[in-house]
Structure 1
């Protein structure tokens, strides 16, 4: 069951976009800052913990996800893109990560490793100075 984000928990702020675009960029606020407070959201607690544990620069120390969308010239399209990116971020932590079962290397892999080390050792020993048999 995919988690859906309640639009009432998301705050949008229209800002001026950066970069190319000429006069349109300078006079129209079409870029969007999306702010989503993780602690105050209706997400399950385990998803909140995993989301806050991410080392993502879009998550502040207060637990607020800030996403900036400015690729489109339309405010509505930028809002939709920001929501999609937030949903993708939440979906990435919603799945439970598989626990790793530690394994030991096989006997054959140990032998291959030792053979490789032995051949490297002989190659390096043969690189020494050539001595005459006086």
Structure 2
């Protein structure tokens, strides 16, 4: 735990799952925003990754409100650029970096309908990484 700057709200207030942060990382902040914010658009980035349209790093290149408004004229969700791995699937990419037991158990606990979709996604070779997103309230409600 650390002290937040004055005026900031932590994900350990209101309706929260902050105590699960070691298992769910920045998704505890997304849960907090879903349950406690009344914003029309909700986004999630984290301490070292930000959205940028010019593909340059650094806080001077972070997506600004005008760029975001322009993006939402034609989109309901903004995600990081899709990564394509060509030589490995989403499943093999995951198990090379993590223990396979958890992801295999997650599949086992799914209904057959979800398993079919899960299997399709795990066989793909591309994905949007980093738990980063910006979306409308409606889309967040459906996602969460």
Fold-level match, TM-score > 0.5? no
Larger fraction in strand:
1
Larger radius of gyration: 1
The two structures have a TM-score, normalised by structure 2, of: 0.24
* Structure having greater relative contact order (Cα 8 Å, sep ≥ 6): 2
